[in-house]
Amino acid sequence: MNTLIAILRPDFLLRDALIGSVLVGLICPLVGVYFVLRRMIFLGVALPQLSAAGIAFSFLVYRALVGQHQHFEMSERVLALLGSFCFALGGLLVLAALARHRETVEARIGITYAVATAATILFVAADPYGEAHMIDLLKGDILTAPAGNLLLLTAVFGGVALVLFGFRKELLLVSFDRDLAVVFGMRAGLWEILLYFLIGVTISFGVLTAGPIVTFGFLVVPPLTARLVTRHMLTFSLVAAGLGAATAFVGFYCAYRFDLPLGPAQVTVASVVLLVVTCTRTLSWLVEKVHAT
Amino acid sequence: MSGTLLTLQQVSLGYEGRPVLERISFTVERGEFLALLGPNGAGKTTLLRGMLGLIPVQAGQITYGFDRLATPPGYVPQRDTLDPIFPLSVREVVLMGTYARLVPLRPVGQRQRQLAAICLAQVGLAHVAEQPFWALSGGQKQRVLIARALAAEPEILLLDEPTAGIDPGAAATIMDLIARLNRERDLTVVLVSHHLRLVRSLVRSVIWIDEGKVVKGPTETMLAPKRVADVFGTLTGTE
């Protein structure tokens, strides 16, 4: 209880990290809802890794063309964001464009993941300056993020949430029944690019804030849990976001209380909730079946 | 009100540059009840998708006798093209039809909710509005999709195999509903089907599609027993 009171105090040392990780937990599932509904879950593994490769690549190119970047400066984060966003969005657009060749979708995503992971390691190895710091960045350096980072994250994620909410009917229609959207005169391709853009932004900020594992975890696990307990689109999105934020907070508490790594603790808590909900649903289904017979 | 709603002039349709239907011409008149019939793979759905603007016209021209953006056609797809992973209530599915007349950022309002409720009542499913769409039977789902198409307030309704995979009783109910909408609302209806017996007593005109060619005529002529045998045997002319 004392730990809980301590982390809720306004002067808590890691207050920005707490708020930042809860924001990632809140917004990633809102985007992840579309990953689940459009059956793009495997993309959720590959894209954060691709985003991490983009971070490493941007530093490598910067060092080759300009010189060594300054650690823990805002300019370093801007550089990382640029690389992360370009790789995530570029990869998403290419994979989405090839998605109609369904028979090789899984192979393409698997190759993307493998290449991105290998490229990340190679890019980091090729940069002799600050390799350790780079690895922190790639894992998501929420505990050492510079001042101003939280403000930027709040503004960007707030914007993503507003766009998702404002255009929810268009994004739903192009995702559920693309043909009907076209019949209604909507430019389905442009709406899909907007969705991919939002995904790219969310992943790049998510990876830089919390790392690829946490970003993938929160993109997929809370929406999968919410799908089991909701019957409407709006409640599906809201429950997914609420679960994401709540499990991020509980994960932070556990990490702080038991001295665990933050990201894995948060993803584990989210996964435990998914497991409990799945077991409860299965049990209630079995009980209903027994009663019926 | 009378007039031509749809005119196809020397239209070729197909996929990836390969034509499935070549140089076909016919018109759809306001208030008409038309069935696109033919064997599997003949190009019925291709023609319907061409009429809806879902596939590009390779040659020729399709002219609409109404403002397609202001009054888009009502479209009922084959229900198995929709993914059951979406958590949608029946009301939410029908409300999608109202999106046709809502600009981006404008939320669904009271008028749209009332319209959806009316459309759902017209297909006899007002009592299932809050139920999950995927929990309904095949026939009920199809009626919900018809209600969704009606919610777009269309002048023409285009349906792709509305009775496919549905038991005979439910299929008859759906066909009766479509016929009633045509009769009472003067709604122009074009539907794809391969159930000759089901459409024979209801539709007023038929387009036979086979081997890339189409023949249009009144139902009694086109579905006369001898004609059916002739058409399935050797389909030659175009209209």
Q: Are B77 and A177 an interchain contact pair (Cβ–Cβ within 8 Å)?
A: yes
Contacts of B52 in chain A (CB under 8 A): 179, 182-183
With beta carbons less than 8 A apart as the criterion, state whether A228 and A21 touch: no
Q: So what's the pLDDT on residue B238?
A: 34
Q: So what's the pLDDT on residue A154?
A: 94
Give B132 to chain A, closest Cα distance, Å. Answer: 6
Q: How many CB pairs under 8 A join A and B?
A: 72
B102 vs A: CB within 8 A:
yes
- Give the chain A residue whose CA is nearest to the CA of B154: A184
pLDDT of A131 over the 90 cut? no
Percent of chain B past pLDDT 70, that is, above it, reads 95
Q: So what's the pLDDT on residue B232?
A: 59
Q: So what's the pLDDT on residue B237?
A: 37
Instruction: Look at phi and psi of residue A185 and say left if phi exceeds 0, alpha if psi is from -120 to 50, else beta.
Output: left
pLDDT of B161 over the 70 cut? yes
Q: Are A233 and B82 an interchain contact pair (Cβ–Cβ within 8 Å)?
A: no
Q: Are B152 and A173 an interchain contact pair (Cβ–Cβ within 8 Å)?
A: no
Q: So what's the pLDDT on residue A145?
A: 66
Give A26 to chain B, closest Cα distance, Å. Answer: 20
SS (H, E, C) chain A: CHHHHHHHCCCCCCHHHHHHHHHHHHHHHHHHHHHHHCCCHHHHHHHHHHHHHHHHHHHHHHHHHCCCCCCCCHHHHHHHHHHHHHHHHHHHHHHHHCCCCHHHHHHHHHHHHHHHHHHHHHHHHHCCCCHHHHHHHHHCCHHHCCCCHHHHHHHHHHHHHHHHHHCHHHHHHHHHCHHHHHHCCCCHHHHHHHHHHHHHHHHHHHHHHHCHHHHHHHHHHHHHHHHHHCCCHHHHHHHHHHHHHHHHHHHHHHHHHHCCCHHHHHHHHHHHHHHHHHHHHHHHHHHHHHHHC
pLDDT band at B200 (very low <50, low <70, confident <90, very high): confident
Q: Report pTM.
A: 0.89
Q: Tens of pLDDT along A5-22?
A: 888 888 888 888 899 999
pLDDT of A109 over the 80 cut? yes
Contacts of A235 in chain B (CB under 8 A): 87
Q: What is the mean pLDDT of residues A129-134?
A: 64
Q: Looking at A36-45, A154-163, B41-50, B225-234, which range is the least confident one?
A: B225-234
Q: Looking at A99-108, B148-157, B214-223, which range is the least confident one?
A: A99-108
Q: Are B96 and A176 an interchain contact pair (Cβ–Cβ within 8 Å)?
A: yes
- Give the chain A residue whose CA is nearest to the CA of B75: A180
Among B92, B100, B107, beta carbon nearest to A232: B92
Percent of chain B past pLDDT 90, that is, above it, reads 71
pLDDT band at B231 (very low <50, low <70, confident <90, very high): low
Q: Are A166 and B105 an interchain contact pair (Cβ–Cβ within 8 Å)?
A: yes
Q: So what's the pLDDT on residue B235?
A: 45
Contacts of A173 in chain B (CB under 8 A): 96, 99
B133 vs A: CB within 8 A:
no
For the record, the structure tokens of A160 come out as 């993503």
Contacts of A180 in chain B (CB under 8 A): 75, 77, 96
Q: Looking at A84-88, A98-102, A159-163, B205-209, which range is the least confident one?
A: A98-102
Q: Are B68 and A185 an interchain contact pair (Cβ–Cβ within 8 Å)?
A: yes
Give B62 to chain A, closest Cα distance, Å. Answer: 15
Interface with chain A: mutation pick from B15, B49, B55, B75, highest number of A CBs within 10 Å = B75
Q: So what's the pLDDT on residue A138?
A: 64
With beta carbons less than 8 A apart as the criterion, state whether A36 and A220 touch: yes
Q: What are phi and psi of B129, to 5 degrees?
A: -55, -40
Residue window 27-66, chain B: list those with CB within 8 Å of chain A.
Answer: 49, 52-54
Who wins on pLDDT, B117 or B195?
B117
Q: So what's the pLDDT on residue B48?
A: 96
For the record, the structure tokens of A113 come out as 């993941």
Q: How far apart are CA A280 and CA A288, in angstroms?
A: 12
Q: So what's the pLDDT on residue B89?
A: 96
pLDDT band at A72 (very low <50, low <70, confident <90, very high): low
For residue B153, what is the DSSP state? -
Give B218 to chain A, closest Cα distance, Å. Answer: 28
Q: Tens of pLDDT along B87-105?
A: 999 999 999 999 999 999 9
Among B89, B99, B152, beta carbon nearest to A232: B89
Q: Are B99 and A166 an interchain contact pair (Cβ–Cβ within 8 Å)?
A: no
Q: What is the mean pLDDT of residues A117-124?
A: 88
Q: What is the mean pLDDT of residues B211-216?
A: 85
pLDDT of A150 over the 50 cut? yes
pLDDT of B109 over the 90 cut? yes
- Give the chain A residue whose CA is nearest to the CA of B100: A184
Complex ipTM value:
0.92
Give B230 to chain A, closest Cα distance, Å. Answer: 35
Q: Are B77 and A179 an interchain contact pair (Cβ–Cβ within 8 Å)?
A: yes
Q: Are B99 and A232 an interchain contact pair (Cβ–Cβ within 8 Å)?
A: no
